[in-house]
Amino acid sequence: MIAARPVPPLAIETDLPQPYLLFLGDTIEPGFAKTAFGLRDWARDKCVGEFACSPDAVSTGLPHMRPAAAYAKGARALVIGVANSGGIIPISWRASLVEALSAGLDIVSGMHVRLASLPDIAEAASRFGRRLIDVRSPPAAIPIATGRKRSGKRLLTVGTDCALGKKYTALAIAREFRNRGVDVDFRATGQTGIMISGGGIPMDAVIADFAAGAAEMLSPDADPAHWDVIEGQGSLFHPAYAGVSLALLHGSQPDIFIACHEAGRETILGTPGFALPEIEEVIALTHTLGARTNPAIRCGGVTINTAHLSDAEASALLDAEAERLGLPVADPVRGGARFERLIAACLA
């Protein structure tokens, strides 16, 4: 796990009740369960098991247990491990959430819908004396962006789509920077990153006029040798979420960006009919738009999520893409020499 320095003032609760029981609802698309997978991979010591309300739901591979059993194992909160389109909490989940409250668990949610706005959940929480914690709550008094160049160095992850590795890439880069003695902070911009690191700003919950200002607030002036590694959101090519991505790019003013992609993905997740852009299109557009607030912006490399490929297939793809693009290309989870070359290129 990567610890981040708090960035005041953050309107989130950083002292979350732990350990967690990860709730997967009835979600069958792994991409929508990225919160659960992220916590499993980057905060495994905080996770007791998983719970779903459908036998067809995706699995993190953690022990499956009902809330009462999880509480007996030490769990103190049910974390909604799903980040679906619109951030809704469907009726099909409600009975399971009430079960968790009755078992003694608080509920931690990163959804857009506020837990207390659901009468049955609010009533159960009151009856059982449990907390309802929404981490997708931006801080108050976010300023409008100024575009002023700030001291310190910044790296931002961008992508061809949502839920394909921007957070994992940022976490892995921040960890490797730290291993090399670099003064660095991971800056979370989504609910999962906030739960992992304990601080951040949920960019997609910020009013549009203030989104770039939130990105400036998240990565303030720092020592010239300090790095902020900023978790990217969405994609500049996404038909719904490009606005969040652009505000984050302008406000972050990254010196370096890393383009992220998932091997084999051909269409925008949850948006049929929209093909993914090519990696080089993402690099070119990020250069063009990012130069508005940092003319010195450059691409430090590419990461590709090769989780569905064999070792041999992944090696062949990563090497071929590195030769084609003329950039370091690596899978941050696989690591190795390719990832070390990407890190060196970022720090060069």
pLDDT 10s digits, 138-192: 998 999 999 999 999 999 999 999 989 999 999 999 999 999 999 999 999 999 9
Q: What is the pLDDT of residue 12?
A: 42
| Cα of 155 vs its chain's centroid, Å | 15
Give residue 221's pLDDT band: very low, low, confident or very high (50, 70, 90). Answer: very high
Residue type present at position 199: G
Q: What is the pLDDT of residue 312?
A: 98
Joined tokens for residue 229: 């590694």
Average pLDDT for 96-119:
96
Average pLDDT for 95-110:
97
Q: Per CATH, which fold does 20-134 belong to?
A: Rossmann fold (3.40.50)
Beta bridge partners of 51: 23
Range of lowest pLDDT (24-33, 73-82, 164-173, 234-243): 24-33
Q: Is the dihedral of CA 149, 154, 160, 163 positive or negative?
A: negative
CA distance 340 to 177: 10
pLDDT of residue 4 exceeding 90: no
CATH number for the domain whose boundaries are 153-347: 3.40.50.300
What phi and psi, each to the nearest 5 degrees, are found at residue 152?
A: 95, 175
Joined tokens for residue 116: 């207390």
pLDDT of residue 328 exceeding 80: yes
Residue type present at position 110: G
Q: Is the dihedral of CA 207, 212, 213, 214 positive or negative?
A: positive
Q: What is the pLDDT of residue 7?
A: 42
Domain borders along the chain are 20-134, 153-347
Q: What is the pLDDT of residue 14?
A: 59
Q: What is the pLDDT of residue 6?
A: 40
Q: What is the pLDDT of residue 151?
A: 97
- 163 in helix, strand or coil? coil
Same topology, domains 20-134 and 153-347? Answer is yes
Tally of residues, the chain: 348
The 10s digit of each residue's pLDDT in 40-80 is 999 999 999 999 999 999 999 999 999 999 999 999 999 99
Joined tokens for residue 2: 């990567």
197/297: higher pLDDT: 297
pLDDT of residue 85 exceeding 80: no
CA distance 114 to 295: 40
Please say whether the beta carbons of 314 and 331 come within 8 A. yes
Range of lowest pLDDT (15-19, 214-218, 289-293): 15-19
Q: Does residue 30 have a cis peptide bond before it, meaning omega lies within 30 degrees of 0?
A: no
CA distance 314 to 321: 11
Q: Is the dihedral of CA 101, 107, 113, 117 positive or negative?
A: positive
321/140: higher pLDDT: 321
